[in-house]
Every structure is written in C-alpha cells, then in structure tokens.
Amino acid sequence: MSWRRLWIPLSVLPLLGLLAYGFRTDPRAVPSPLVGRPAPPFTLTLFDDGALRLDDLRGKVVVLNFWASWCYPACYEEAPVLEEGWRTYQDRGAVIVGIDIQDTEEGARRFIEQFGLTFPNGPDPRGKISIDYGVYGVPETFFIDRQGRIRAKHVGAVTAPLLRERLEALLEEPA
Amino acid sequence: MRRAVFGAAPIGLVALAVLLLVGPGLAAEVDEEEVRRIAAGLRCPVCQNLSVADSPSEMAKQMRQLIRERLAAGVRPEEVVAYFTEKYGEWILLAPKPEGFNLLVWTLPFAGLLGGLVGVLLVVRRWSRRPAPAAEAVDPAYRERIKAELDRLDGS
C-alpha cells in the first residue's frame, strides 16, 4: 500500500528532471560548433578597394566582426570599441576585420563614415561568409588565434574589457 | 475564340524557340522541389520557429540560394544538410536526429500514449468487474410522491 502511494509522486520525478533540463537551456542560444576548429577561409572585397584574404593573416590574431548598419543599437555600441581596439593593437599583431552582412552598400558606407572606421571592412553580399561561419545574427564576433583557429565566439556587442582580455590572451600565445 | 486559337500558335512557337535556346542551360538547373525539401528541414537562424523554406528573410534567401548552388555543383542532398549542421550544429535541423538523448523526443510521446492506454484499460477493467450496485432503497416519501404525480399525469 505504501509503495502504491509513493508510485504517483515518484513517477513525476523524471518529468521534473526533464523540465529542469529544459528550463536551464536557453532555446535562443545557438551554440557554435566552430569554436576550436580552423577558421573557414574567405576572401573579402573591401569597401575601400582591394581584397583581404584570411589566409594572408596567418600568424596574426584576427577579430572577425559581423555587423550591419541596421543593427541598432548593438553594432553602434561596439563600433567605437572595435576602432579603438584596432588602433591600440594593430602594431602588436592583431587585425580587426569587419564583415557587413544583409545590408545595403549605402547604409554600410554611412556607418563606416559615422564611426570613422579605419580597419578593413567589406560586404558579404551573398551571405557566403556569414553562413560559412554559422552566423545567425548581428553582431557576432569571432576570435581567431595565430594558428588560424577559432578560439571564441561572442554574440552581441563587444565591450572594451572583453576585447582587451581576449586580445591580450591570444597575443601572448606564440605564433 | 478563333482569335485566341490563332493567337496561341505564335506564342507556342516563341516558347518552343526560347526553350530550344535556353534548353541546355535549363538542363543544368536544379530540382526546385529538392531545394525546397532541404530548406524545409533547416531552421532559419534569424527567425522564431520558421524553416529556411518558409522564411522571407534575407538570410533564408541566401541559404536557399546556397543550397541551389551546391546542388547545381553536384553536391548530394545529404552533404548539403551536413554542411549546415557542421556550421550551425544540430540546432539547425528542425527534426532532431533520432539518436542518443534525442531518442526521448521521438519515443516519449508514444510511450506516454501507450502508458495512458494501459491505464485506461486497467481502470475500465476494474470498473466492469465491480458488481453493479444494488438498487438503492428509495425514500418512501419520494416513492409516494412520484406515484401520485404519475397517476395525475395519466389521469389528465
């Protein structure tokens, strides 16, 4: 009889377990399977002429930032941070690359002008690069080490402390 | 009516000519149904619960184009899907693969259904086994009243 009485509450336990698991995972968080893997190669046609090949940056720490001019406010918050980071770290072997996705060229150029961005920036008109990096929104930032491996992915606006911390750590690694 | 028929002939001829001209190009084109089938199984990354086939977003459009291009390049459909899972993880599949922990999603509904069915059967069996309750004694006062009212009904 006592076993019978326990049966019903006990049967609820696995259900509770499932619910606990479900509530602790964020359904909107998209995990990137790319972290730890080699960064997919690409050639980016830059806004101010010329092209940039990721392979040419081997040996440097690359911050790959996906953005769009319609991405307000996150992209507008991080643009000055990225520009500042570029100015501070370019002499130490870091490159910041901006990839403008799902955007109009006009809007993108205005954005670059507004923030006076001097690091290489280019469009991804057919989404090839963004899909290759498993991007699902803007802004998203990938940190690539000197060996050309993706070491971290950041979703949302990059903050100055975060950029500094990641860059310092990756720059310290031997080439 | 005649006009329409005569009108249709040149149009048909033009269409035929166009087909012949573009024919070789068309042959290399991809089966749109296949593109749709693959896109329908992929979750659109920028939407809430929409497939790449159903979403009008720029990203979904680019993904459909990518599927088309890969198929045109002779890539097999499974490999196209594998490319997307490699980039986005299994998250991008609208139907999780039936393996490991995911098996729960596939089996639990049926297990629940089966469990419920067994439960109902057990309860029904218990009920049907219980002897029918003996006719309960009716309050004599009610019985009298019912009888009286029935008589009145018959009388009228």
pLDDT tens-place string over residues B2-58: 444 444 455 555 554 544 444 444 445 788 999 999 999 999 988 888 999 999 999
Residue A140's domain spans which residues? 33-172
In a domain, A25, yes or no: no
Give the one of B58, B87, B104 whose C-beta lies nearest to A102's C-beta.
B58
Residue A26 pLDDT > 50: yes
Chain B residues with CB inside 8 Å of A30's CB? 45, 88-89, 91
**Dist CA A98 CA A82 (whole Å):** 9
Tell which residue, B60, B52, B65, B61, has the closest CA to residue B94: B52
Domain count, chain A: 1
Taking an 8 Å cut-off on Cβ atoms, the answer to whether B45 and A30 are in contact is yes
Q: What's the pLDDT score for residue B23?
A: 44
The CATH number linked to A74 is 3.40.30.10
**Dist CA B34 CA B46 (whole Å):** 22
Residue A130 pLDDT > 80: yes
Taking one residue from A and the other from B, the number of pairs with CB-CB distance under 8 angstroms is 48
Contact, A134 vs B87, CB < 8 A? yes
Q: For residue B117, which amino acid is it?
A: L
Confidence class of residue B99 from pLDDT cuts 50, 70 and 90?
confident
Two structure tokens written together for B132: 């029918």
Interval A66-93 mean pLDDT: 96
In a domain, A86, yes or no: yes
Task: Give Cα A24 distance to the centre of its chain.
Answer: 23
**Dist CA B100 CA B90 (whole Å):** 13
**Cβ–Cβ contact A27 with B under 8 A:** no
Taking an 8 Å cut-off on Cβ atoms, the answer to whether B87 and A33 are in contact is yes
What CATH homologous superfamily does B2-100 map to? Answer: Cytochrome C biogenesis protein (1.10.8.640)
SS3 (DSSP) at A169:
helix
- The alpha carbon torsion through A73, A78, A79, A84 (nearest 10 deg) reads 150
Any alpha helices (H) in B41-131, and if so which ranges?
A: 58-72, 77-88, 103-129
Q: Which residues of chain A from 128 to 157 reach within 8 Å of chain B, CB to CB?
A: 128, 130-137
Interval A108-113 mean pLDDT: 96
**Cβ–Cβ contact A77 with B under 8 A:** no
**Dist CA A69 CA A110 (whole Å):** 8
Taking an 8 Å cut-off on Cβ atoms, the answer to whether B89 and A18 are in contact is no
Residue B1 pLDDT > 60: no
Residue B155 pLDDT > 80: no
- The mean pLDDT value of chain A amounts to 92
Q: What is the ipTM of this complex?
A: 0.81
